[in-house]
Structure 1
Amino acid sequence: MSSIVLEENNRNSLVARMSEDTWVVACLCAAWCDVCTAYRPDFDALAAAHPETLFVWIDVEDRADMVGDFDVENFPTVLIQRGDQVAFYGTTLPDAGIALRLLNAYARLDPAALAEQGSKNADYQEWQEERNLRRTLSS
């Protein structure tokens, strides 16, 4: 199974799959971005290798109506969250191994430890309010 491309017609089903126990890895890209185009097969392969995790591909220009408030400074930008807790949001190198290492590092933490880790970090606190994909897509 490859990543799921965010579309208007699958928005509600994606939200339904974003349970409290499901890790979500979203790649925010743009169709015109050659780096994103080259990264996509590796991201899809990562999704196929980890069916327990929800991998979502989001074209931030085509889906600006759904995720317009997400500030993307560069591509690819990766968002990792579980339930309503955003663990990571930022630009990464287009390397699926990096996304996997980030996911594994955060998945090892229980929710309380993850929240405590970020409680002293201003970026982390901002992500909870402004980069929560589940909440954004539920609106």
Structure 2
Amino acid sequence: MLSPDTDATTLHTRMRTGQLLVACLCAEWCGTCRSYRTTFTELAVRHPECCFVWVDVEDHADALGDFDVENFPTLLIQRMDETGDVLFFGPVLPHAGVVEGMLSRDLRAAPAVTAAPDLRGWLLQLA
């Protein structure tokens, strides 16, 4: 799992070679988020084909633009190809099985979510 605060160069490299960006939007003050961080890190190890990123919404409100995150954890799954389509954006239960289920589906056929921030574009600008 990577952080925009400490892993900008690695993020830039991974985003050019991975298939999906899986971003967890959380807040440090949220106990559920702090507990979920270990699970999210384990998911990143099990899915090396994806780029897992932990984004603190209070430290990086600029990444979200006009989008407010009110429920934690909120997950964003975005293609890392030239389309940059967002395939999922919303709150999830803090269980590994939820993300595992999403990643096991054929997301290539999923329609793009139009009401979502472009985290891929923001992360690519960091390096």
Q: Would you say same fold, with TM above 0.5?
A: yes
CA deviation map 1:84-139 (0-9, x unaligned): 0110000011112101211222xx243xx33xx34xxxxx2223xxx121112345
- Structure 2: unaligned runs, 5 residues or longer: none
Q: CA deviation at 1:20?
A: 7.4
Distance in structure 1 (CA, Å) of the matches to 2:72 and 2:107: 27
Kindly name which structure, 1 or 2, has the bigger radius of gyration based on alpha carbons.
Answer: 1
- Structure 1: unaligned runs, 5 residues or longer: 119-123
Which one of the candidate residues 52, 55, 66 is aligned to 2:52? 55
Say if 1:24 and 1:47 are closer, same or farther in 2 by CA, change over 3 A.
Answer: same
Distance in structure 2 (CA, Å) of the matches to 1:28 and 1:80: 11
1:134 counterpart = 2:102:
no
1:76 counterpart = 2:102:
no
1:33 counterpart = 2:30:
yes
CA RMSD, 1 decimal: 2.0
TM-score by length of 1: 0.76
Say if 1:98 and 1:57 are closer, same or farther in 2 by CA, change over 3 A.
Answer: same
Alignment correspondent of 1:121: none
Distance in structure 2 (CA, Å) of the matches to 1:74 and 1:109: 24
Size of the aligned set, in residue pairs, is 121
Q: Which amino acid aligns with 1:126?
A: A
Q: Which amino acid aligns with 1:137?
A: L
Distance in structure 2 (CA, Å) of the matches to 1:95 and 1:19: 28
Distance in structure 1 (CA, Å) of the matches to 2:17 and 2:78: 10
Q: Which has the higher helix share?
A: 1
TM-score by length of 2: 0.82
Q: CA deviation at 1:35?
A: 0.3
1:104 counterpart = 2:69:
no
